[in-house]
Amino acid sequence: MEELDFQALLDRFGNDGFQKGEQVILSNFGTNQTLLSIIFGKPNEIHLIDQSEKGDFLIRQVELFCGSTQVCTANTKIPREKNRADVLSDILAGKLGLGQIVVKHNLPNKRTLVDIGRDEEGFWRTYIIEGQEVFLEIHEYFPRVPFEATGWLQSGRPKMTVWDNEGETYEFYKFVAIGVKPDGGIFLGIEDELLTNEEANNIILQGVQVIGDLAQGLTMGLME
């Protein structure tokens, strides 16, 4: 695994459309709990979901809550032979975050960012904390909705709302929309960021069929 240098990280942020709020979280190598508590204005708690042994490794899954809101899920691969006994003891207790454990024991280390990513549901990173007495490979996932609710992230997902004849409401985040404006002009909206080419093509083809059926009905009505 290679360390991502700072310029490469900036390039990745720019090319993949990361919001500034996402960049701050994903590039933060301080104690994660402190940053998230500041963002949400509430103390946080670590909930240990699962901790098991697989060969020479501990596999740990935790959820981090600020108040009653889940704001992060972390999965960690921990080789026993590369971690000091008291570090392993704190990890097994499951009461502290891994960053807090490293700070508590004052362990010299370097942090290597391995990968970052984002989609419409959330954003994530994989990184390694490594030193002579500690080695942790961590994957963190941050759901987007709580951060949008606080205003930390902008809601970048276009939404189309439709009401049917029975008054039912439907909301779509993936859509191709054709409509008539109040001035009689034609509106065309395509949410292509969240659509694969195949999905977009399928929606367009279905839309063409529906429009054809409507046009035929209108034509027949005019002829009667």
Which pLDDT score is estimated for 53? 85
Q: Are 206 and 212 in contact (CB under 8 A)?
A: no
Q: Measure Cα distances from 223 to 82, 213, 217, 218, 219 in Å.
A: 82, 16, 10, 9, 6
Query: pLDDT-based confidence at 4, cuts 50/70/90?
Result: very low
Closest CA to 62 of 33, 29, 82: 33
Q: CATH 2.60.120.380: does it fit domain 6-150? A: no
Range 188-197, long-range pairs (CB < 8 A, 24+ positions): 189/158, 189/160, 191/158, 191/160, 193/120, 194/120, 194/157
pLDDT-derived band at 206 (thresholds 50, 70, 90) equals confident
Between the alpha carbon of residue 159 and those of residues 7, 41, 69, 162, the distances in Å are 34, 28, 24, 10
3-state secondary structure of 140: strand
pLDDT band, residue 21 (cuts 50/70/90): very high
* pLDDT surpasses 60 at 84: yes
The domain limits of the chain are 6-150, 160-223
Angstrom CA distances, 151 to 21, 39, 40, 100, 202, stand at 10, 9, 10, 27, 35
Helix (H, G, I), strand (E, B), or coil: what is residue 1? coil
Q: What would the pLDDT profile of 148-193 be if each residue is shown by its tens digit?
A: 989 899 876 666 777 777 878 876 666 667 676 777 777 766 655 5
Would you call 3 exposed, middle or buried from its count of C-beta atoms within 10 A (0-12, 13-18, 19+)? middle
